[in-house]
Structure 1
Protein backbone atom coordinates (compact mmCIF):
# COMPACT_ATOMS: atom_id res chain seq x y z
CA UNK A 1 0.00 0.00 0.00
CA UNK A 2 1.48 3.31 -1.06
CA UNK A 3 1.84 5.88 1.72
CA UNK A 4 1.28 3.38 4.53
CA UNK A 5 4.25 4.77 6.47
CA UNK A 6 2.48 8.10 6.99
CA UNK A 7 -1.10 6.92 7.48
CA UNK A 8 -1.21 8.14 11.11
CA UNK A 9 0.79 11.33 10.54
CA UNK A 10 -1.23 14.32 11.82
CA UNK A 11 -1.26 16.03 8.41
CA UNK A 12 -2.49 12.89 6.65
CA UNK A 13 -5.11 12.32 9.33
CA UNK A 14 -6.36 15.90 8.91
CA UNK A 15 -6.60 15.55 5.13
CA UNK A 16 -8.51 12.29 5.58
CA UNK A 17 -10.95 14.00 7.95
CA UNK A 18 -11.46 16.88 5.49
CA UNK A 19 -12.15 14.50 2.60
CA UNK A 20 -14.48 12.29 4.65
CA UNK A 21 -16.33 15.34 5.99
CA UNK A 22 -16.90 16.80 2.54
CA UNK A 23 -14.95 19.99 3.30
CA UNK A 24 -13.17 19.78 -0.06
CA UNK A 25 -16.25 19.02 -2.12
CA UNK A 26 -16.38 16.26 -4.70
CA UNK A 27 -12.84 15.04 -5.31
CA UNK A 28 -12.01 13.69 -8.72
CA UNK A 29 -8.28 13.24 -8.08
CA UNK A 30 -5.94 13.75 -5.13
CA UNK A 31 -2.17 13.58 -5.23
CA UNK A 32 0.52 14.40 -2.68
CA UNK A 33 4.28 14.41 -2.42
CA UNK A 34 6.31 13.85 0.69
CA UNK A 35 9.02 16.40 1.27
CA UNK A 36 11.77 16.07 3.83
CA UNK A 37 12.96 19.55 4.66
CA UNK A 38 15.65 18.40 7.08
CA UNK A 39 19.38 18.74 6.66
CA UNK A 40 21.08 16.55 4.04
CA UNK A 41 23.15 13.72 5.49
CA UNK A 42 26.62 14.97 6.39
CA UNK A 43 25.60 18.64 6.48
CA UNK A 44 26.78 20.75 9.38
CA UNK A 45 23.93 21.70 11.70
Structure 2
Protein backbone atom coordinates (compact mmCIF):
# COMPACT_ATOMS: atom_id res chain seq x y z
CA UNK A 1 0.00 0.00 0.00
CA UNK A 2 1.22 3.51 -0.79
CA UNK A 3 0.25 6.72 0.98
CA UNK A 4 -0.43 9.52 -1.53
CA UNK A 5 -1.07 13.02 -0.13
CA UNK A 6 -2.11 16.34 -1.69
CA UNK A 7 0.17 19.34 -1.28
CA UNK A 8 -0.77 22.89 -2.22
CA UNK A 9 2.52 24.49 -1.19
CA UNK A 10 6.08 23.59 -0.22
CA UNK A 11 5.43 23.39 3.55
CA UNK A 12 2.64 20.90 2.83
CA UNK A 13 5.01 18.79 0.71
CA UNK A 14 7.53 18.72 3.55
CA UNK A 15 4.89 17.88 6.13
CA UNK A 16 3.48 15.05 4.01
CA UNK A 17 6.91 13.49 3.46
CA UNK A 18 7.98 13.95 7.08
CA UNK A 19 4.83 12.15 8.18
CA UNK A 20 5.23 9.11 5.97
CA UNK A 21 3.81 9.98 2.56
CA UNK A 22 5.28 7.83 -0.19
CA UNK A 23 4.23 10.39 -2.80
CA UNK A 24 2.51 13.76 -3.10
CA UNK A 25 0.43 15.27 -5.83
CA UNK A 26 0.35 18.97 -6.61
CA UNK A 27 -1.61 21.38 -8.74
CA UNK A 28 -0.37 24.09 -11.07
CA UNK A 29 -1.29 27.77 -10.91
CA UNK A 30 -3.04 27.90 -14.24
CA UNK A 31 -6.50 27.85 -15.73
CA UNK A 32 -6.57 24.04 -15.92
CA UNK A 33 -6.71 23.72 -12.12
CA UNK A 34 -10.19 23.84 -10.60
CA UNK A 35 -8.61 24.55 -7.19
CA UNK A 36 -6.83 27.75 -8.20
CA UNK A 37 -6.69 29.51 -4.82
CA UNK A 38 -4.38 32.29 -3.65
CA UNK A 39 -1.37 30.92 -1.79
CA UNK A 40 -1.83 27.40 -3.11
CA UNK A 41 -0.43 25.43 -6.01
CA UNK A 42 2.83 25.70 -7.88
CA UNK A 43 4.15 27.38 -11.00
CA UNK A 44 5.89 25.18 -13.54
CA UNK A 45 9.18 26.93 -12.70
CA UNK A 46 8.80 26.18 -8.99
CA UNK A 47 8.29 22.47 -9.70
CA UNK A 48 11.42 22.26 -11.87
Indicate whether the TM-score tops 0.5.
Answer: no
The structure having more radius of gyration, on CA atoms, is 1
TM-score (norm 1): 0.32
Q: Which of 1 and 2 has higher RCO (CA within 8 Å, sep 6+)?
A: 2
**Greater share of strand:** 2
**Greater share of helix:** 1
